[in-house]
Structure 1
């Protein structure tokens, strides 16, 4: 007895097709979030209100026109005409905030209208199943959908539109005049264009957010780099004093005769502590200089090299002049280094951002404060576009150095287009200042 071969079951393509169909249906049921109005984040008030005004204009125009055309031209009952006109036009107001829900109402009304108009007395020779008012309102709705919903939802809407048109073509090929094809093509174009514009705007917005995050990270990295550079420079200043303490403590028994044993032991303890501190500082410096910056091991500059800075600036094309108070006397090493760096950064900013601007550098001091003033006029030459952004270290470094020494910093533009940098650095310990 022969047995029939088993019928082949559905291949792997069938489950995938069902899954895609379910996904499209699910997309039509689930609107995108949030439900804020279109252009709600626009910078100007008229831009935020424009979608509401446009939707209101289309709604109040299409509603009476649709009712009149359905009644007089298609000879549909006035009750049905009024209900269809309201259902097809009024939901455009909802489309500004909830376009997918508005689509369900309008799409259902359009399909019901097509069914009712099929048996109307005046449909012969007129557009069917979609009237001109239906097509216009549907395109407005497509724009709202394209600016809000996901690609999957837009594809489901487009396919549903084509399926409805094909349904009417199958039930009455005699009355159909091809408007379903026009509706299908125009809705696809509207959805594609508006979705592309929305995705482009989203990409630009994400890029702007990323640039903001990157700028914040860059500023934070700049601050950390500047603090590390200041720490490396201050090591040299502190190490000098620690070395002096070590030498004095070690040589005290030889320089001072008749020291008691307790004093000798105390000097020995001071020298050992100073040497241990120097060792720890060298270890820390090795970590800070792990980038191999050999040039930073050179002796740190001070106010005695400010004149060389100004001369180099003049050679760079900036007419700069220096007013350096004579007989400044002894300046604390940290203040001496900080004052030099402030002048250096200020002049670098002049060269970078105000090429050719006349610049005046003034360094004066009284009993308690060292004042550094760098003032430049408006730029004479156009700065290089490659330098307009700068490195970001100038003002950050100035503020860190002034804060470290306990001074004050005042920077800002001048009315004539120039810029001013004024720093006051204490010549004594901050606790000694009034």
Structure 2
């Protein structure tokens, strides 16, 4: 009793494994295959893929010698003719694994020819004619392969031709035919119907899976578009509103404060200009987010020709910055030109946010070997000056730099310096692979 109790919990697991194997075989059997492809050729298990070959080989190895023996001993057919006829009726079953319709033509012709050979042979009376038992077994196996591969129109044609051949033999010798022609006609029809139904179910399941995959991709795309629209709406409602307020206040400050010094007027004008530029950048971003990114690309993108303006705006923000921009850079690819501008922009923005007042050097030069070198180095923050955004660094700026460099095929090196400053060094190709 103890031994039986210990084994009982394992029995359901064995049953589940067997059910999974049977279900896997059923799925493989119902999965349609293409012309020239072996039956069950798309099964996951290699053993299942080899199964049709094994079954066909076993059938040929069994039916071939039995057919020869029956022809020679029971029907008194010549040995050479019996061997050739038996080979033609059984060997093409190996071809049926990959090309069942071609195999059917050979086997059907051999079966019909064998029926006429047996008609003139001795000792036919009282024995199956025109189809022997071996012919019935091999033919039904062939119908199984046909039903899993060919179209319903082809299967209907095969079945009607089989019935027509049996009817001809019934007319030629009705007292010898018996009921085996009707039996083969009925059994072949049943096998073709069952296998065709199984194949149709597999095709329906495959189409359903494809449709579900397409629907899932469409749902994911719709979700992405909805999320981008939501982000665009939030940017417009929150950030764009505040930037517009800053622009209006900066433009109206000289009129609202008559005694404002000239230096302050210039500072307010610079603030208004920067705010308007930010609003223009945000409008381009909103267009990209709301229109799959196609319309936004039509807007002109900034490049290295505007780096001087970036540095001047940084100086006005209180960061002493110097720019060294080579004049012989030539015509850069648009992606490289934009990426270089964005890298310098993000590096200077990080200095303003995290190291205000730090001395900064910006260098943009070509090395003459097809590479553009960008270097932004800042020293430590000025004394008794706190960062504008203490403790809020998310690292998204550096991530964006790395992504732009990776997309253009360049390299990026960032990190702190021993004196407390920071260094951003990027290397971008000045020629694309297409040029």
Aligned to 1:35, what secondary structure does the other structure show? Answer: coil
Q: In structure 2, how many angstroms separate the alpha carbons of the residues matched to 1:50 and 1:272? A: 74
The residue aligned with 1:124 is: 125
Structure 1 position 369 matched with structure 2 position 393: yes
C-alpha RMSD of the superposition = 3.9
1:257 to 237, 256, 259: 259
Structure 1 residue 252: deviation in Å?
A: 3.1
**Aligned to 1:243, which of 242, 245, 258?**
245
Does the C-alpha gap of structure 1 residues 261 and 406 become closer, same or farther in structure 2, counting only changes over 3 Å? closer
Deviation string 1:216-262 (CA, Å, 9 cap, x unpaired) is 22212211211111111122123213312321321233336255599
After TM superposition, list the pairs within 5 Å mapping 1:268-283 onto structure 2: 270=272, 274=276
Alignment of 1:105-120 (within 5 A): 105-120=106-121
Distance of 1:272 and 1:107 partners within structure 2? 87
In 2: Cα distance, 1:262 partner to 1:241 partner: 20
SS in 1 for 2:174: coil
1:291-370 to 2 correspondences below 5 Å? 367=391, 369=393
The structural deviation recorded for 1:265 is 12
Deviation at 1:111, TM superposition (A): 0.3
Counterparts of 1:59 and 1:208 in 2: how far apart (Å)? 37
Q: Which residue of 1 aligns with 2:314?
A: none
Q: Measure, in 1, the Cα distance between the counterparts of 2:201 and 2:106.
A: 29
Matched, 1:192 2:216: no
Instruction: Write out the 4+ residue segments of structure 1 that deviate beyond 6 Å after TM superposition.
Output: 402-405
Residue 367 of structure 1 deviates from its aligned partner by 2.9
Tell which deviates more after alignment, 264-273 or 194-203. 264-273
CA 1:37–1:117: 2 relative to 1, 3 Å: same
| Paired residues for 1:128-147 under 5 Å | 128-147=129-148
- Which residue in the other structure is 2:103 paired with? 102
Measured after TM superposition, the shift of residue 368 of structure 1 is: 5.0
Q: CA deviation at 1:404?
A: 12
Q: Distance in 1 between matches of 2:174 and 2:252?
A: 113
Task: Look up the match of 2:222.
Answer: 221
Deviation string 1:66-90 (CA, Å, 9 cap, x unpaired) is 0011111111111111111100110
Q: Tell me the TM-score normalized by structure 1.
A: 0.56
Query: In the alignment, does 2:37 pair up with 1:36?
Result: yes
Q: Distance in 2 between matches of 1:274 and 1:56?
A: 81
More divergent stretch after superposition (211-220 vs 149-158): 211-220
Superposed CA offset, 1:321-354 (max 9, x none):
xxxxxxxxxxx9xxxxxxxxxxxxxxxxxxxxxx
> Is the 1:246–1:271 contact (alpha carbons within 8 Å) kept by the matching residues of 2?
no
How far, CA to CA, are the matches of 1:166 and 1:70 in structure 2?
23
Structure 1 233/269 Cα, relative in aligned 2: closer, same or farther at 3 Å? closer
Q: Distance in 2 between matches of 1:268 and 1:240?
A: 17
With structure 2 as the length reference, what TM-score do the two structures score? 0.56
The CA distance in 2 between the partners of 1:184 and 1:87, in whole Å, is 21
Name the structure 1 match of 2:46: 45
Question: Structure 1 residues 49, 105: closer, same or farther in 2, change over 3 A?
Answer: same
Which string of whole-angstrom CA distances, capped at 9 and with x for unpartnered residues, describes residues 289-335 of structure 1?
xxxxxxxxxxxxxxxxxxxxxxxxxxxxxxxxxxxxxxxxxxx9xxx
Measured after TM superposition, the shift of residue 183 of structure 1 is 0.6
Q: Is the 8 A contact 1:243 1:274 kept in 2?
A: no
1:170 CA drift (Å): 0.2
Distance 1:226 1:87, change over 3 A: same
SS at match of 1:175: helix
* Aligned-partner Cα distance in 2 for 1:275–1:108: 84
Which residue matches 1:305? none
Per-residue CA deviations over 1:145-177 (Å, capped at 9, x if unaligned) read: 010001111111001100100000001011111
Q: In the alignment, is the contact (CA less than 8 A) between 2:89 and 2:110 conserved in 1?
A: yes
Report the Cα offset of residue 273 of structure 1.
8.1
Cα distance in 2, alignment partners of residues 105 and 254 from structure 1: 101
Q: Which moves more between the two structures, 260-269 or 79-88?
A: 260-269
Structure 1 position 129, deviation (Å): 0.6
| Alpha-carbon distance, 1:274 to partner | 4.3
Cα gap change, 1:404 to 1:144, in 2 (>3 Å): farther
Q: Which moved more, 1:249-258 or 1:33-42?
A: 249-258
Name 2:206's counterpart in structure 1: 205
2-side partners of 1:141 and 1:258: how far apart? 100
Cα distance in structure 1, aligned partners of 2:240 and 2:268: 22
Residues paired across the two proteins, number? 276
Gaps of 5+ in 2: 1-32, 291-352, 354-388, 403-421, 425-435
Q: CA deviation at 1:369?
A: 3.2
